[in-house]
Structure 1
Amino acid sequence: MTHKVWKELILTFGFGITLTMLLSQSRAINTQLSSTSTVSLQLAMFYVYSGLVAGWLTLSKITPRIFLILPLIGWVFYFAIKLTLSMWIGVVMLPVRTFGNVRTLLRMRE
């Protein structure tokens, strides 16, 4: 159980850090904004990108298994919709899942 919790935490925040680093470097935000605005934007990007994993995992728990027999175009639509929903649901579920994971780790340590 501990391994699963650590894996989710590392995946969640690793994904957020990686995407934030890659996408903030590819955009010219450093030259157009002040340093305070740049840091604020990067923190917001980190939160949303980390939330993608939390949203994806939450949606995976409630997605019916009927989608296993979709044609190829159905899979494209399915993943596009799931990615979009993951972003929005992840903003809410990131603190919920993180708090739950940290609480689980603390309980296992006792």
Structure 2
Amino acid sequence: MKIHYLLLILCFVNLGCAQSKGKPITEFSQNDIDSGILVDVRTPQEYNNGHLDQAVNINLLDADFIKSVDTIHRGQPIYVYCKKGGRSAKAAKVLDSLGFKQVVDLEGGYDAFIANKKD
């Protein structure tokens, strides 16, 4: 529970100086992933029900989220997504506060990605 408070505080502290940017998940391409890392911040159960190719699952709600993302090189682009966009926006702010230089929140989330594939 303490980690949730820490994440919340980090998000509020960083609101004024966030470096992350957003990009609709429907515009995400293989070229993007070739230059960075794709992180699915949903729960393992959600991830196992379907995810983007080459996505690494690091659950935002896990107490070890910060420890898990600490293994990622801070200089490479990191693309984050969730189900609809709420958790990925929070994760992007946390990653910014941890010193990641190129954080991209894939807006709309997995639901928008699936809906776009059906069209």
TM range (shorter): under 0.3
Between structures 1 and 2, the one with greater helix share: 1
Between structures 1 and 2, the one with greater strand share: 2
Which structure has the greater CA radius of gyration? 1
